[in-house]
Structure 1
Amino acid sequence: MSDFLHVSSSPHVRSKVSTDGIMKTVLLALLPTTLFGIYNFGLHALLLILVCMATCVATEAVYEKIVNKKSTIKDCSALVTGLLLALNLPPKAPWWIAVVGGIFAILIVKQLFGGLGQNFMNPALAARCFLLISFTGRMTDFTVPDGAFGKVVDTVSGATPLAAVKAGESVNLMSLFIGNTKGTIGETSALAILIGAAILLATKVIDLRVPLTYIGTFAVFALLFGGHGFSISYLAAELFGGGLMLGAWFMATDYVTTPITKNGQLVYGVCLGIFTGIFRIFGGSAEGVSYAIIFCNLLVPLIERVTMPVAFGKGGKKS
C-alpha cells in the first residue's frame, strides 16, 4: 500500500517547538531560583535537588524498561518534575524524602496514568502534598541548615513569613522580595522567580493569561477578606511570601493540567486565586498554593467542557 494513504493520528498541526525544547527552557528559567536556593540554604539544598532529579529520571527509565515502553527520559520532563519537587521541599528535609517524593511523582502520578500528557494533576505538586500528609513534621520544619546564608538573618520565632503574617506579625518586605527568609528551597526569592518568569514569557513558553488572572484574583480576595483592609504591606507579604509566585508562573502554567481554551484559562486562574485565598486566609495553614493548584487541576475537564467554543453553524435557535 502506498505511504500516501497512511494517515497519522491527530493532531495534524505541526510545530517546530518540541517537548524537550520547552522543558530545557523551563530548566533554564528555573536556574535563577535554583541557584539562589543553594546560595541561601547551603549544600544540603543542592543535595536535595540532585537527589530529586536523579530519582525522577531513574524512576521513569526503570518503569519504561519494565513495561517495555519507549524511553522518554531525553525529553527532560522528568528533570523538570524533579527540580520543581526539590524547590518545594524544606531546605533541611532528609534525602530519603526526596527519593519517596520523586518516585511518587513519576510512578504514581505520571507513568501509571499513561506518561507525559496523560497525568491529571501536576506531578511535583501532587508529590509535595503526598509528602505533607505523610511526613507533616519534616515537611513543615523550616529550620535553616547550619552554614546557610539565611541563618545570618534568621528570626527568633522560626516561623515562615506567611506564618508570621497570619499570626499578626510584621515582616521585612525587602528581605521577602529578595529571598533572605525561611521557606522551601525555591519559594523564598520573588525576584529570582520573576527573572525566570521573564525568560518563559520572552521565549513564549507561557503567556500572561493564567499567572496574572491567578495573582490578580488572589490579590482582590486577600484585600477583601484578609482582615487588614487595603493594606499594601499586607498584600505585598501575601504575594511575595510562600509559594504563590513559584506556583503561578511555573506550575499553574503546566501545559498538561491547564485548560486549552482561552476563556477556560481565565476561569482556571480565577479558581486558583479564590481557592488559594480560602486555604490561606480561612484555613489552618498559612500556605495553600499546592492544594489549590492540584484541586483546580481536577476541575480542568469541567472548565474545558463549559468554555469550549461552539462550532460554526451550531448552537443557534431552531426555526
Structure 2
Amino acid sequence: MKTLVISQSPHIQSPRTTSDAMRHVVVALLPALAVGVWRFGVSAAAVVAVAALSCLASEWLIARFVMGRRVAFFGWAPLVTGLLLGMNLPSGIPLWAVVIGSLFAIGVGKMAFGGLGCNIFNPALVGRVFLLLSFPALMTSWPVVGDGCLSWADAVTAPTPLMLVKQGVVPDNQMVIGELVGNVGGSLGEVGAIAILLGLVYLMMFRIVTWHIPVSIILSVGVVSWLSGGNPLFDIVSGGLMLGAVFMATDYVTSPMTRRGQLLYGVMIGVITVVIRRWGVYPEGVSFAILIMNGATPLINRYVRPRPRRCAEGRCV
C-alpha cells in the first residue's frame, strides 16, 4: 500500500518550481548588480561573490552535518540570499564580516526554522541587521563612488544621501537624479533605481511577482513622506527602498498569500519605513520595516482571507 503524504499548505498546482522562480530572481538582480559593481568597483564584486559562496556553503554544511540531509552544494535559493545580502552591504566591508553575516543569515535566519519554506523572516535582512547591530562602524562606512569597474574601494568614505539629508547638509531634491542613475554613495544595492525597476518589469513579465507589494510600498512611502513634509520622490528612490520593495518584501515565504493581505503588508512597510527615517535613530528603515511585517505575516494570513463566493440559482456573489 502506498503512503499518501500531504505537505504543508498552501497547495498550489503550477508547473513552475521554486528553483525556476529563484533563477528568474537572479536574472532580475543582474542590472542592479552591474550598476553597483560599475560604480563601486572590484571590491563590490568581491563582497557579493563572498556572500553568495558563503551562503551556499553555510546551507550545505548545516543541512549535511547538522540536519543530516543530503543536498547539492549549489541551490538557487541560497544564491539569491547571498546576492541580496551582498547588495545590502558596503562595498568596502571586510570579507570576514561578510562570511559571518552569511552564516548568520542562513544558520539563524533560515535553517534554524527548518530550511526553505519554514523561515519567518527574510534571511538576507536577518544577516544585514545582525551585522548592523554587531559591527555598526563597519556597516556605516560607505566608500565613495569609484572611477569605474576596475577601481577598488579604499578607506575614503562618505555619508549616504539619506544621512546627508537627515543632517541637513544637502537638500533632498539635489540627490534624486544621483539616486536614479547610481551616482551616489551607499551599498551597491541602493544605487541605480532605474536598474531595479528593470528587474521588477522582468519579474512581472514572467509572473514571478505581482504589483501588489512593490506598488503599495512605493505609494505608501510617497504619501506618508508628503504628509510628513518630506520629498516623496527622494524617499522613494533613496536608500534600500526600491531594492527592498522589489526583491525582499516580495519573498514568497515571508509575505502574505492573499492580494488584500499583500496590499496591507506593503502599506505598513511603507509607513514604518518613513516613520523610522523621520523620527528614528537610523536614517534608513526599510530593513527593520520588512522584518517587522515579516513577523506580522502569519496574522495577516489568518485574518485577511479570501471571501468565499455564495452561489444560488446559477448566480455567484
Alignment of 1:10-49 (within 5 A): 10=7, 13-49=12-48
* Residue matched to 1:131: 131
* Residue matched to 2:315: none
Alignment of 1:44-59 (within 5 A): 44-59=43-58
Alignment of 1:229-240 (within 5 A): 234-240=231-237
- Return the TM-score normalized by structure 1: 0.89
Q: Find out whether 1:265 has 2:268 as its counterpart.
A: no
Per the TM alignment, residue 177 of structure 1 is displaced from its structure 2 partner at its CA by 0.6
Q: Find out whether 1:201 has 2:200 as its counterpart.
A: no
- d(CA) in 1 for partners of 2:149, 2:60: 36
Q: Find out whether 1:213 has 2:210 as its counterpart.
A: no
How big is each residue's C-alpha offset from its partner over 1:53-75, in whole Å with a ceiling of 9 and x where there is no partner? 00000011111111211316544
* Residue matched to 1:159: 159
SS at match of 1:300: helix
- d(CA) in 1 for partners of 2:286, 2:110: 20
Letter in 1 for 2:290: I
Q: Find out whether 1:186 has 2:189 as its counterpart.
A: yes
Letter in 2 for 1:45: A
- d(CA) in 1 for partners of 2:131, 2:105: 10
Higher helix share: 1
Per the TM alignment, residue 309 of structure 1 is displaced from its structure 2 partner at its CA by 3.2
Residues 56 and 74 of structure 2 are in contact (CA less than 8 Å); yes or no, is this contact kept in structure 1? Answer: no
SS at match of 1:109: coil
Residues 103/150 of structure 1: CA separation in 2 closer, same or farther (3 Å cut): same
Residues 269 and 289 of structure 2 are in contact (CA less than 8 Å); yes or no, is this contact kept in structure 1? Answer: yes
- d(CA) in 2 for partners of 1:214, 1:146: 31
Residues 75/157 of structure 1: CA separation in 2 closer, same or farther (3 Å cut): closer
* Residue matched to 1:283: 280
Residues 89 and 139 of structure 2 are in contact (CA less than 8 Å); yes or no, is this contact kept in structure 1? Answer: yes
- d(CA) in 1 for partners of 2:44, 2:165: 25
* Residue matched to 2:87: 87
Residues 26 and 80 of structure 2 are in contact (CA less than 8 Å); yes or no, is this contact kept in structure 1? Answer: yes
Per the TM alignment, residue 282 of structure 1 is displaced from its structure 2 partner at its CA by 1.1
Letter in 2 for 1:295: I
Residues 144 and 150 of structure 1 are in contact (CA less than 8 Å); yes or no, is this contact kept in structure 2? Answer: no
- Return the TM-score normalized by structure 2: 0.89
- d(CA) in 1 for partners of 2:99, 2:288: 21
Per the TM alignment, residue 143 of structure 1 is displaced from its structure 2 partner at its CA by 2.4
Per the TM alignment, residue 149 of structure 1 is displaced from its structure 2 partner at its CA by 6.6
Residues 165 and 237 of structure 1 are in contact (CA less than 8 Å); yes or no, is this contact kept in structure 2? Answer: no
> Where does the alignment leave 5 or more consecutive residues of structure 1 unmatched?
229-233, 314-319
How big is each residue's C-alpha offset from its partner over 1:141-176, in whole Å with a ceiling of 9 and x where there is no partner? 01237655799xxxx992211112222322242222
How big is each residue's C-alpha offset from its partner over 1:224-271, in whole Å with a ceiling of 9 and x where there is no partner? 01x34xxxxx22211111000000000000000001111111110111
RMSD over aligned Cα, in angstroms?
A: 2.1
